[in-house]
Amino acid sequence: MQVTDLYEKAPYNPEDPNPWLALYLDMSLPLSDEVKAALLSNSGSKSRQFVLPLIRPCAKLTMVGFQLLKIFIPNKFTSSKLLHRLIFWGLRNFVRPDANYLILRHFHIGSEILQFVASNVPGVQIPLNPLRPRDLGDLVDNMFLKHDLNIYNFLIRINREMKAQGIQLTKQQRLNFDAITDGPFPIDEDKLPKRWLNFLDLESAIEVYTPLYQLFLTDSDFWRACNSLQLDETVALYTSKLIGDPSYMGLVNNKHPLVPLSTLQAGYRLLLHGLAAECLHATLVQFKRQTQSAGVQAN
């Protein structure tokens, strides 16, 4: 994406250093320049600076109102189909192309991480439902709901299999990285809308959609979606045990799924979830490259 040019060609003034340039050049996180640039261009946008402070309190008040409403009519307005059509309409008409790109990437990344874990637990065979959206139109097919269902179905199935066979997650001497894509995902970036109305940053868009999630999903679906964010820690633990390297755990902020957090924090935590998934996938890409390099040298 051309968004990297914002930082590669950015001027540097020691008397007034650009904080986003500093974070882009920082290499402490295992993220590609493309992903960092997309995240930082959203973080430094006028939308996040001026629109988000107005959206966030309104979104939280709306969620409180919807929660009170659902005490009396818990499933009156539920429609996953309508929810996903509204999300698609909003993303297409108001959200920045780099934010939409990060959203589409997230489904590919989530699918690959689950497949990596499943393919590296000896003796375990479980069905998976990989999500591979190429453009925003693919999201209409209940993509967000399927993403949440995938993680819970994965946890239930893999742990039942391991318990039945007496298997423990341990470091594997030969890891299978076939599930991990080292390179661009099959996303049609050229089709992402770039009209003048596409100004909304990723975090603001998430805050707008969280109350809609609460309204149009059943109470069970909404709570499951919110609580799934704390499973970042669970998946990170699985991966760290298989790799034998716990260092990635320090990058996980959504923790302790046995002690669920308030749904009012779901918007910000969803952004952290996206960052955690990007970091974990980038870490696996690095391990894949090291494994391939070691294999070439051995030959």
pLDDT tens digits, one per residue of 83-92: 999 999 999 9
Is 212 a residue whose pLDDT tops 80?
yes
The whole-chain average pLDDT of the chain stands at 93
pLDDT of 74 reads 77
95 beta partners: 200
Closest among 23, 24, 19 to 8, alpha carbons compared: 24
Put simply, whether the predicted model's pTM sits higher than 0.85 gets the answer yes
Q: What is the pLDDT of residue 281?
A: 97
- Reading the block at residue 248, the tokens are 């990635």
- pLDDT tens track for 30-48: 999 999 999 999 999 999 9
Residue 295 above 70 pLDDT?
no
Q: Can you tell me the distance from the alpha carbon of 37 to that of 221, in angstroms, rounded to the nearest whole number?
A: 33
What is the pLDDT at residue 296? 62
With a cut of 60, say whether residue 1 has pLDDT above it.
no
| Residue whose token pair is 């890891």 | 175
| Spatial CA neighbour of 275 closest among 211, 240, 229, 222 | 229
Taking residues 261-268, report their average pLDDT: 90
Tell me: the pLDDT tens digits for 215-238?
999 988 999 999 999 999 999 999
Dist. CA 155–CA 163, nearest whole Å = 12
Q: Residue 294 has what pLDDT?
A: 76
- Classified as helix, coil or strand, 78 is coil
